[in-house]
Amino acid sequence: MTQRVYFLAHGRVQGVSYRYFAQKKAAEHGITGWCRNTEHGKVEGEAQGHEDSIQLFLKELDKGPTHAHVVKLDKEPRDVQEGEAHFEVRR
């Protein structure tokens, strides 16, 4: 079953390639969506894919890349969007 989730990563997630880590992991799991830095030092985004893939993806985001330090990863369900082809890093 396809699902879509909004996520908000707290901690040291900017300046450590977190967004590009998310993009790489999304591609590995066949997930579409987007992510971007927020003005408050966090990274937010939406991810859409098979339920099992989303759970694995969120688990990896909760850990983050080598130099990141994720303190908390908030998650909220969202409505599935049609026609999305890839996972993009927004500025």
Write down all domains in the chain, each with its CATH number in brackets.
2-89 (3.30.70.100)
pLDDT tens series, the chain, 91 aa: 999 999 999 999 999 999 999 999 999 999 999 999 999 999 999 999 999 999 999 999 999 999 999 999 999 999 999 999 999 999 8
Tell me what pLDDT residue 91 has. 87
Tell me what pLDDT residue 58 has. 98
Cβ pair 90, 36 in contact under 8 A:
yes
The pTM of the full predicted model, rounded to 2 decimals, is: 0.96
User: Could you tell me whether strands 87-89 and 2-12 are parallel, antiparallel, or unpaired per DSSP bridges?
Assistant: unpaired
Q: For residue 37, what are the β-bridge partners?
A: 43
Cβ pair 6, 18 in contact under 8 A:
no
Active-site residue set: 19, 37
